Amino acid sequence: MKLTIAATVVVVVVLVVFLVPNLLVCRPTPQDITVTAMGEMSVRAEMYYASFKKLPQRVSDLPVREGHMNFTVDGWERPLLYEASEDKIMLRSYGADGVAGGSGKNADYEMEIARSLMPGNLSTVERKIDGGKAVITGKSPY
């Protein structure tokens, strides 16, 4: 009898210590992390533009934001693809599978940062997620 009670107590303690905290913690999905990282890189590109009046040509040119994560990888821990010209920056993630195309968790993520829409103007961000398209418009904070 004492052994059964002790075993029950051990099982309850293990459940409370390991299972309950995991149920109470809300973890961001890889998709959420990807969208957040792209947004953060966009803000950092705007900061760079405000200082130098040109777009950063490399990820390493992006200024560090104190108190922020400054991620340059997607939610699957692969570097975000960064293609820059004088007029725009294109950020891409190929989703969970790392291959262009796909849907669901394998959907591609894209964000275009255009020089013509830099600080003082309206910024337009297009995201292709699972074949859909959302356009978000708002004023730049810089």
Q: Which of 22-26, 60-64, 88-92, 122-126 has the lowest mean pLDDT?
A: 122-126
131/53: higher pLDDT = 53
> For the chain, what are the domain ranges?
28-139
Residues 6+ apart with CB under 8 A from 123: 42, 46, 117, 137, 138, 139, 140
- HEC readout, the chain: CHHHHHHHHHHHHHHHHHHHHHHHCCCCCHHHHHHHHHHHHHHHHHHHHHHHCCCCCCHHHCCCCCCCCCCCECCCCCECEEEECCCEEEEEECCCCCCCCCCHHHCCEEEEEEHHHCCCCEEEEEEEECCEEEEEEEECCC
% residues pLDDT > 70 (the chain): 68
What band does 48 get if pLDDT is binned at 50, 70 and 90?
Answer: very high
pTM: 0.70
Whether the per-residue pLDDT at 131 is higher than 70: the answer is no
pLDDT in tens, 74-117: 999 999 999 999 999 999 999 999 999 988 889 999 999 888 77
97/121: higher pLDDT = 97
Mean of the per-residue pLDDT values of the chain: 80
CA proximity to 78, closest of 56, 65, 97, 55: 97
Whether the per-residue pLDDT at 135 is higher than 50: the answer is no
